[in-house]
Amino acid sequence: MATRQITDIIPSSVAYSQAIVVSSLPRGSIHLVQPARLSETVLKSYLRDIHCEDRVAWQTILRNAVVRASDCWSREDFESSPYLHNLLAPLGHLYAVGIPLSAPVLAGYPGALVLFRGPDAHDFTDAEVARLRNTGRDIDAFLARTRRGSEADHRWAHPVPCRVFIFTRDARVVFPKRELGLDERVEQQLQQHARQALEYARRAQQYADRLLLPDSRGDLWVFHASIYRDFPALGGGAFVFFTLQPSSAEWVEVRAVDVAADGELVRLLPTLKFMRQEFHRNPTLEDISRRASLSPFHFHRRFTDLIGQTPKHFLLACQIEEAKRLLAARHHELSKIAVNCGFAHQSHFTSRFKQATGLTPTRWRRLAAQLSRGQ
């Protein structure tokens, strides 16, 4: 995905001076992912605090509608906002409008295309907003076409329409606006964890950032938790984000051009592909970090921050996903699957598989057969 290809879809009757793409990602909140050439100052400022102040992008995502900066602030509040002073002004802009995108980078992680105009222009008019209403759907269709032909198998990745779930300080769901689409047991547990996480935030205590929640069949869903004591773009008080983790197969489909603005993430993409290809031989952290030209210590820290899970968890996910594929195919005994997936022996495989999924390989194989039959 190149920004130029996306902006070619924007109606020619809507003028703008610059475009950026922001996307939610599995590590929580939203992030600048396009274009490649943004100033380091702007990128760092956005990562540090503007993502929490970006009402244009967030209201675009929450409403799933075209939203202007002038729709989000009063004139007086806008003139003193960090959004104006730390994002628009450094880029030489004064006006902004957001267009919703369903999945700029990963399925289930919404985002927005934001258009800017400078102070010598005028705000985006109602007529221009109307012309932009179908643009997001056209861009979504274009992105879907560019990603067609993937060989990744996501059948066992707990597909839901949205993988970002946001709770307010009273543990009320603020996003998504529609039904969560989760297994009922998982949804109940998520609500409980939201209350606990917000109580931990109130006490200034650390809360687990990785949750494994069993569904009604006993199968585990893996979430990343992010807690913010303050998030002005969404309202007052604390908020907790739960992000359902993508499969390793989905992660390796992400291209450098999809996240071009995030140089650190671009640098890590080859390590994801390396782990996906070499998981069967259990590469060491040093082997993996060498692909990013980083020390093992620095690589581990940045990988965990940017991907939302540790390298060890990602490598295990690669093994488990291949094991699920082989179990569902029903062509091999457990001992053979254990060897093919890089486990020392069958008992080691059984132990790690149950730890990761909540089910033994034999029980999961029966579940996969039931799901294939639509039961």
Where does a domain end: 92, 115, 146? Answer: 146
Q: What is the per-residue pLDDT for 375?
A: 53
Does residue 360 lie within any of the structural domains? yes
Q: What is the per-residue pLDDT for 370?
A: 78
Rounded (5°) CA angle 61-200-106: 30
118 and 23 assigned to the same domain:
yes
Does residue 251 lie within any of the structural domains? no
Where does a domain end: 244, 272, 306? Answer: 244
Q: What is the per-residue pLDDT for 155?
A: 61
235 and 347 assigned to the same domain:
no
Residue pLDDT, tens place only, 298-334: 999 999 999 999 999 999 999 999 999 999 888 889 9
Q: What is the per-residue pLDDT for 81?
A: 95
Residue 131 has φ and ψ, to the nearest 5°, of -70, -25
Residue 5's pLDDT band, with cuts at 50, 70 and 90, is confident
The 3-state DSSP class for residue 311 equals helix
Residue 145's pLDDT band, with cuts at 50, 70 and 90, is confident
Where does a domain end: 146, 179, 208? Answer: 146
Does residue 155 lie within any of the structural domains? no
Residue 267's pLDDT band, with cuts at 50, 70 and 90, is very high
| CATH code, domain carrying 33 | 3.30.450.40
Does residue 252 lie within any of the structural domains? no
Residue pLDDT, tens place only, 15-38: 999 999 999 999 999 999 999 888
Does residue 52 lie within any of the structural domains? yes
Q: How many domains does one find in the chain? A: 3
Residue pLDDT, tens place only, 209-243: 999 999 999 999 999 999 999 999 999 889 999 99
Closest CA to 218 of 65, 9, 15, 366: 366
Residue pLDDT, tens place only, 62-101: 999 999 999 999 999 999 999 999 999 999 999 999 999 9
Whole-prediction pTM value? 0.92
302 and 361 assigned to the same domain:
yes
Report residue 115 CA to chain centroid gap.
22
142 and 16 assigned to the same domain:
yes
283 and 334 assigned to the same domain:
yes
Kindly give, in sequence order, each residue whose CB lies less than 8 Å from that of residue 117, ignoring residues fewer than 6 positions away. Answer: 15, 16, 17, 93, 94, 95, 96, 123, 124
Does residue 255 lie within any of the structural domains? no
109 and 142 assigned to the same domain:
yes
Read off the pLDDT of each residue in 356-369 and give the average, rounded to a whole number.
Answer: 91
136 and 74 assigned to the same domain:
yes
86 and 183 assigned to the same domain:
no
- Return the structure tokens found at 317: 């996910």
Q: Does the structure show a pLDDT above 90 at 358?
A: yes
Residue 205's pLDDT band, with cuts at 50, 70 and 90, is confident
Closest CA to 264 of 25, 18, 19: 25
189 and 282 assigned to the same domain:
no
Does residue 129 lie within any of the structural domains? yes
Residue 374's pLDDT band, with cuts at 50, 70 and 90, is low
Does residue 7 lie within any of the structural domains? yes
Q: What is the DSSP letter of 280?
A: G
Q: Does the structure show a pLDDT above 80 at 3?
A: no
Dihedral sign computed on CA atoms, order 24, 28, 29, 34: negative
35 and 115 assigned to the same domain:
yes
Q: Does the structure show a pLDDT above 70 at 136?
A: yes
First to last CA, the chain: 38
Kindly give, in sequence order, each residue whose CB lies less than 8 Å from that of residue 210, ignoring residues fewer than 6 positions away. Answer: 222, 223, 224, 225, 309, 313
97 and 169 assigned to the same domain:
no
Q: What is the per-residue pLDDT for 2?
A: 62
98 and 174 assigned to the same domain:
no
Q: What is the per-residue pLDDT for 212?
A: 95
| CATH code, domain carrying 334 | 1.10.10.60
Q: What is the per-residue pLDDT for 241?
A: 96
Q: Does the structure show a pLDDT above 60 at 149?
A: no
Full domain range(s) for residue 121: 3-146
